[in-house]
Chain A
Amino acid sequence: MTPSFVEPARRPPPGLDGLDPSWSRLVEVGSGGGDEHTWHVLDNGVDDARLTLLCVHGNPSWSYLWRKLIAGAPRDVRVIAVDQLEMGYSERTGEMRGLATRIDDLTELTREMALTGPVVTVAHDWGGPISLGWAQRHLDQLAGVVLMNTAVHQPAGSPAPAAIRAVRKRGILRRVTVDTSAFISGAVEMSRPRPSAEIRRGFRAPYDSPRRRQAIAHFVEDIPLDAGHPSAATLDAVAAGMDALADTPALLLWGPNDKVFSDLYLHDLEHRLPHADVHRFVGASHFVSEDVDIVGPLYDWLDPSTEPNPRPKLDRRPLGAALYDLSRSAQPAVLEMAGEGDSIDFAGLSRRVEKLATGLREFGVRPGDRVALMVPPSIDLTVAMYACWRLGAVLVLIDAGLGPKGMTRALASSAPDHLIGINRALMAARVLRWPGRRFSVAPLSRAQQRGLGVATDIRSLELSRASVPDYAGDDDVAAVVFTSGATGPSKGVVYRHHQVQAQRDVLMDLYQISSDDRLVAAFAPFALYGPAMGVSSVVPDMDVTAPGTLDATVLGAAAVAIDATLVFASPAALVNVVKTAGDLTADQHRSFEKIRLLLSAGAPVRLSLLQSVSRLFPNASIHTPYGMTEALPVADISLLEIEEASGGDGVCVGLPLPMIDVRISGFDDVGVAVGELTAEPGVVGEVVVRAPHIRDGYDRLWHTEYKASQPDGWHRSGDVGHLDDAGRLWIGGRTGHVISTVKGPVMPVAVEQAIEDLPDIELAAVVGVGPVGTQQLVAVAELSVGVRRARQADSELQRRVRDSTGRDVAAVLVVPHLPVDRRHNSKIDRTRVATWAGSVLAGGRMRRL
């Protein structure tokens, strides 16, 4: 291929969607000697800018890619987006430019433009190495690097070389990149959702003839796949130079649905820039800036007004301290009711934890490595968990209630290095190609190990004779815990050791838990803390992902076995226990009388349920802690206090705990929580909390974390409610479920409760239809008698709903089933209900909810 086509630079034609012609300028470079080239650049031309963004596109693309970044720039930020030479509307010089040349070109351009002052480079695709090459030459003025779906190195196992080799085959390359616009069209088409015709036209605009597309082929040819490639040395130098960016703020914005730049490249860049902030946009593709809003996240990241506000950290006992203290004790640690009814004492548990930690370390599990634990509550889970904590590995905890799809997504985003699982999980791991080196819980035959792709089993690892590993530090990351996903896509919540320690201490303080207690652990989150508290615990013979499998006798048997004093169980499980209480034996009844404290959490609990529970456990004080995956507990309330509480808007969750700060960020007119934090009673808005035991952050969701941490150090809970005169907290719903009516924001929970108090209503959701600010209230209910098909309630029921709520409810719809989450079986997916109701009440067809 002998490129010889020459054409001067020019400005883009007017009328390209989203592009302001006033941004375009032509810059002549090298007029003082050497090669002269003219660039087309977009430049918002801000004088006295605090900061300049230097944006470099990849292939096939042009500066059009950055149009939204320019349109959304703050007043004091200059944005320069270049069309690389031979690309976009820059000059066609007739040369073929390699990576090294392109880095030189960019350096000359910024010199010509006299770009002084702090610069943040922003790059996508193969613009990445070019921008990084420039960055490494300009460390003195470099203020940050932002990278999107790019790479500086081919990690082992990456699919890109194959794809690129396929395209580079003689005959194919020219045909797809130059002779036709297939490559550029195809690339843009990969975007999800599909860009509009105007935007697709915008991307294709500068490449309207084969001659103008020459460089698209050259760019593909310039990707070094082997050491002998002319650009290999330059790319290696850029990769090696990444160390020089150790003190440069870095932001990685990533679309994981990318056929070429997969998560492998993200992980490679994270490895090279361990300090980088990362936001991985689940569902987004290669053109991440087209698929999702990256403008908000990027400028939030650059916002100088957000100063970190470190949270106070107290010296606490390590999570394994009780195991160490009780390493010679015959006190039972964990008792399993399933199967043989195995048990282990503290001495045994302590020994197994040390041994497994040693074995894992010897087998290559390093501190900071992520280990997905796919084991139901059991002795083995306890051993694996505390062994990981012992050596400083990070637990990845994913609820099986998310289902295969949700689990696969959670694993892709958390990318564990190792996976410890029961056989069922290992089979899923093989079939669904879950990441991580696999360890089985049960010893397997060679054939089984090969079949499941398992490295070894934990029992074999416990035979290790290596020297014990170092202890994890308090500041090390302890776990990535995935939320239930009941209120949006499941997110990985990051906890450090000191935060988990604080959570343990909060629970022990609040409920006066001591070594005299014995715990029935029927609720996963707290069930794991028994050994950390030095408390004996029993795991009932149930499937924790299906709370309905805990019936009264299963719970009774567990309580008898350990002579229990404490019960932790989910509300859904308690419903079943109450229902089956008739099957209890006299012994089991007596053991229930010895329970001093019963905790139920995870979802709203009905008063009538707690009252029934209280009759089964006559000497227990019944408590429901309130909190969320990111902050638990926030508040606590007892049955007696619930019975006394009245007059608030929503559910009373009790007084905030002494060690937690609870504030409200008040609503504006349309129900958006924008107010300054306040503890003033009666102010309705989002609940914002701060405490030593709240989450550290979100995994690979930098912007989610940023938004949830306003002000810094606080956690915006996503729940809405208010404090009352007595200081108690009331919860009225979720921020996304607030109904924005003409008369102001309405929180759904209190309205729903009023409806559920009607004798013939089983469950109700209250949602809004219509535009924000003028939404109408709609009630969607399950009747106790049940209905076969969704319909509008009869006028008598509608009247009673309107009377009992005192609200103008536009319509009451009755349905066979409301959608509830799998984990708690009680949190209604109001967003789905609202979408459904909106469609039905617009006159659409009656679809299933």
Chain B
Amino acid sequence: MKVLVTGATSLLGRATVDRLVERGHEVTVFQRGVSGLSVAEQRGDVRTPADVDLAVEGHEAVIHLAAKVAVTGDWADYEQVNVGGTANVVDAAHRLGVGRIVYVSSPSVVHVGTPLVGASAGRADPKSTRGHYATSKAEAELLALEASSPELPIVAIRPHLVWGPGDEQLVGRIVDRARSGRLALIGTGLALIDSTYIDNAADALVAALDAAPRLGGRALVVSNSEPRTVRELVGRIVESAGVKPPRRSVPARLAFGGGLVAERIWDRGGLDGEPPMTSFLAEQLSTAHWFDQRETHAALDWTPTVSIEDGFERLAAWYRVQGV
């Protein structure tokens, strides 16, 4: 199958491309810069319909990963990239005869404000989400799923907290902070949280590509189905990098309040980079969110092959090779 992968430079994008190539698919990647991957490449901006058309042309399937992932910035940026970009991809796919789309979404598109304990995926709701990222992903998911048709089935996959060797989004940040002694747990650190080892997430996307014709219009959460406490997840990640786990903890309410203040300061554009805490992150790290994976396993005919324990071992091995 000829598959276009958008936003392939992310950790998950690269792993997915590798999987697709292994499976004998003909892969093209689409992003702004040079990917450095040894597959066909179409450079361009997902916000520009003409660029998207050029990329989509001639493909039977699209895995749409391209997104603006951050905690700060203007809504307009998120809307243009995440909502507008998705609209461009779906629209192009319709016109150019693509047979299926896997839209890579986020579990944060559903926010209920209470712990998610063995939860099912639920319907995306932009009104309830917290932060520009989640809101824009929710709008894009609704848009994509509504556009699903028998001719162009579209399935949304929401991988939960993807991590693995080489991951800068989650693992890298946690380890950096722990190294500089700026890492603290929020609340008791005992909220159970699902996470997804990178290989499993990539496998799930490939499985979703296969299953898309019978899953059009559905959204599925993907995880390792081995929830762990935040304390253990963070502790094991930093231990893998040879760093001592954090000993400090910040009361959940304080973190939440501090996050709100930080967001306001950063929103005014007063400071560079990312705020150390946001209200969304504080809530995410202090309430449980893990999911009922039975429906996902049945729908995708997929189960994780790398256990969380094996994942930590691989992470530690990777850090040893890095020599840090």
A60 to B292: give the CA distance in the assembly, Å.
45
A405 to B189: give the CA distance in the assembly, Å.
37
A846 to B249: give the CA distance in the assembly, Å.
13
A774 to B239: give the CA distance in the assembly, Å.
29
**Residues of chain B contacted by A792 (CB below 8 angstroms):** 189-190, 229, 231-232
Q: Does B195 contact A (CB under 8 A)?
A: no
Closest Cβ neighbor of B228 among chain A residues:
A810
User: A821-849 vs B: 1/0 string, CB under 8 Å?
Assistant: 00000000000000000101111111000
Which of B225, B235, B290 is the most central at the interface, judged by chain A CB atoms within 10 Å of its CB?
Answer: B290
Q: Does A776 contact B (CB under 8 A)?
A: yes
Inter-chain contact A811/B225, CB cutoff 8 Å: no
**Residues of chain A contacted by B290 (CB below 8 angstroms):** 770, 776
Inter-chain contact B232/A843, CB cutoff 8 Å: no
**Residues of chain A contacted by B235 (CB below 8 angstroms):** 795
Q: Which of B229, B239, B252, B286 contacts A811 (CB 8 A)?
A: B229
Q: A811-B190, A811-B232, A842-B192 are in contact. Are A771 and B288 (CB under 8 A)?
A: no
A808 to B118: give the CA distance in the assembly, Å.
15
Residues of A within 8 Å of B, CB-based: how many?
Answer: 24
The smallest C-beta distance from B104 to any residue of chain A, in angstroms, reads 24
**Residues of chain A contacted by B236 (CB below 8 angstroms):** 795
**Residues of chain B contacted by A813 (CB below 8 angstroms):** 190
Q: Does B226 contact A (CB under 8 A)?
A: yes
Q: Does A12 contact B (CB under 8 A)?
A: no
The smallest C-beta distance from B291 to any residue of chain A, in angstroms, reads 8
**Residues of chain B contacted by A802 (CB below 8 angstroms):** 309
Q: Does A414 contact B (CB under 8 A)?
A: no
The smallest C-beta distance from B227 to any residue of chain A, in angstroms, reads 5
**Residues of chain A contacted by B292 (CB below 8 angstroms):** 771, 773-774
Inter-chain contact B188/A843, CB cutoff 8 Å: yes
Inter-chain contact A842/B288, CB cutoff 8 Å: yes
The smallest C-beta distance from A125 to any residue of chain B, in angstroms, reads 39
The smallest C-beta distance from B261 to any residue of chain A, in angstroms, reads 21
Q: A742-B294, A775-B118, A795-B235 are in contact. Are A843 and B225 (CB under 8 A)?
A: no
**Residues of chain A contacted by B148 (CB below 8 angstroms):** none
A813 to B232: give the CA distance in the assembly, Å.
12
Q: A770-B118, A771-B118, A811-B228 are in contact. Are A843 and B190 (CB under 8 A)?
A: yes
Q: Does B293 contact A (CB under 8 A)?
A: yes
Q: Does B200 contact A (CB under 8 A)?
A: no
The smallest C-beta distance from A112 to any residue of chain B, in angstroms, reads 51
A730 to B228: give the CA distance in the assembly, Å.
31
**Residues of chain B contacted by A798 (CB below 8 angstroms):** 232
Q: Does A769 contact B (CB under 8 A)?
A: yes
Inter-chain contact B115/A742, CB cutoff 8 Å: no
Which of B191, B226, B229 is the most central at the interface, judged by chain A CB atoms within 10 Å of its CB?
Answer: B229
Closest Cβ neighbor of A813 among chain B residues:
B190
A843 to B188: give the CA distance in the assembly, Å.
7
Q: Which of A774, A795, A844 contacts B118 (CB 8 A)?
A: A774
Q: Does B287 contact A (CB under 8 A)?
A: yes
A769 to B229: give the CA distance in the assembly, Å.
13
The smallest C-beta distance from B116 to any residue of chain A, in angstroms, reads 9
The smallest C-beta distance from A849 to any residue of chain B, in angstroms, reads 13
Inter-chain contact B287/A842, CB cutoff 8 Å: yes
Inter-chain contact A840/B188, CB cutoff 8 Å: yes
Q: Which of B187, B225, B231 contacts A742 (CB 8 A)?
A: B225
Inter-chain contact A838/B231, CB cutoff 8 Å: no
Q: Does B117 contact A (CB under 8 A)?
A: yes
CB neighbors of A among B67-109 (8 A): none
Q: Which of A773, A810, A845 contacts B227 (CB 8 A)?
A: A810
The smallest C-beta distance from B202 to any residue of chain A, in angstroms, reads 22
The smallest C-beta distance from A847 to any residue of chain B, in angstroms, reads 10
**Residues of chain A contacted by B231 (CB below 8 angstroms):** 792
User: A76-112 vs B: 1/0 string, CB under 8 Å?
Assistant: 0000000000000000000000000000000000000
Inter-chain contact B115/A842, CB cutoff 8 Å: yes
A7 to B232: give the CA distance in the assembly, Å.
70
User: A754-794 vs B: 1/0 string, CB under 8 Å?
Assistant: 00000000000000011101111000000000000000100
**Residues of chain A contacted by B117 (CB below 8 angstroms):** 769-771, 838, 842
Q: Could you name 23 residue pairs across A and B whose Cβ atoms are closer than 8 Å? A: A742-B225, A742-B293, A742-B294, A770-B290, A773-B292, A773-B294, A792-B189, A792-B231, A792-B232, A795-B235, A811-B232, A841-B191, A841-B288, A842-B117, A842-B191, A842-B288, A843-B115, A843-B187, A843-B191, A843-B287, A843-B288, A845-B187, A845-B188
User: 7 other contacts beyond A771-B292, A795-B239, with CB at 8 A cut-off?
Assistant: A774-B292, A776-B290, A795-B232, A810-B228, A838-B117, A842-B287, A845-B187
Residues of chain B touching chain A, judged by Cβ–Cβ distance below 8 Å, are 115, 117-118, 187-192, 225-229, 231-232, 235-236, 239, 252, 286-288, 290, 292-294, 309
